[in-house]
Structure 1
Amino acid sequence: MCGRIIQIEDEDEYAEAMEFKLEQTIVPEKYRKSFNAAPHTLRIVFRLVDGKLVAEALPWRYLSHWAKEKNLRPAINARRDKLLTPYYRSMMKNGRVVVPADGWYEWTGPKGDRQPWLIQAKDKKPLFFAALTNQGDDVAIDDDTGLLIVTDDSAGGMVDVHDRRPVALTAEDAMTWLDTSFSYQQAEELIRSAALGPEYFQWSEVSKDVGGHAHDGPELLEPTGQIVLGEVATDS
């Protein structure tokens, strides 16, 4: 899964990294940048509206009507291998968005003594996570509005931090994911084939303070132990 991300740049800087002009920003004052962004907080997303790049801040969680009726907890991730099912079809057609980020965290070790790892691009450039939302282009945000970050199974060659990882794309592929002229089937094929591989990333052991929501500062990004560079996945 993807349970904590880093968003510390302005929307304009993320848009510049995507090599696309940001035409509109719809971000409330209560949005906060974060070195330790947790689910249920407002997160910056990009979408294309009439061919123009728009930045919004949406809650990182989603609870469908049937899940609410069953008293289930909100979801924060969407499995890539489930995207073509009816459950996601509407969002795949009309709700593809991108979450720009500076990295994410995962944990290893037994419960009670878990070691957090910071995962970033080797060149420290922003990442662009494929994501979905039920938020329409011109509909007010309410309690049912939210976003899901798409995850896939971890590839061989990665540090064994979790069995799933967020689907990160290049800037060019992120723009294609947003393009509604591509069918939802084509979009699924894109992220299945174009998700950045382990060779793109590095893993750094960081402070266990990451585990506390109240901790949020640049010191969380400082390595406290080993740093591992991802390698090209190979068949075993």
Structure 2
Amino acid sequence: MFAAVGGFFLDLSLAIALLAGLSLLGVAAVGFAQGLRGIDSAQIALDPLLLVVVSLVATAISALFVYYFRRNANPVERAESWRALWHRSSWGWIAFALIACSGYSAVVSAFAQEMGIDITPTNQVLGEIIRTHPRSLLIFAVLIAPAYEELLFRRVLFGRLWAAGRPWLGVALSSAAFALVHEPPGLGVSSGWGMLLLWSVYALMGALFAWIYRRTGSLWTAYLAHAGNNLIACLALLA
């Protein structure tokens, strides 16, 4: 078990280090490109959509790197995962995860509003972007982001402890990592109780996605549940 836990934290550390490094390089590259266009350094302002693209690319490369070099699925595993998706029960678990995520998010929002707690998520910038670039953001948030996040958090991180015979520890640790990466301590808009409530929302999502992955044996179910949840969130922002 200790080897599996060590591998978990090594994988997570590699992903975070790559994400931070690639994000800085991406922002620097965008600023450099604007400088070449003759824009004065004091006037350089990064387009929020470009920042989202940089973040997505950095996270995708990080997740794919850790997946490919640390816990790559073989052809047999990929084929079994695809077949398992088409079991009738798999779609029932996807629906269950969507209902549970949406329901819990609604309860937390109502509670926070009643108590006067600010639970503004760090990704609040997406609200304005989705109104100006709806199709682009829908593609990123609904189709692309869930794919690399499921590879990292469920296939690599949760899957390592699942394979070691400690699935519940895998659920706990991968869900905590999922929450902390989405709402980094000290870097988010919310704080105190607001941050704790946001962590609980993301942790529940991570736990549910890990659970249906284990229950169905298909990473596709976790991906579709994640994509569906993001679609609901994006449609809410558009509304």
**Which structure has the larger Rg?**
2
Structure number with the higher helix fraction is 2
- Structure 2 length as normaliser, TM-score? 0.26
- Structure 1 length as normaliser, TM-score? 0.26
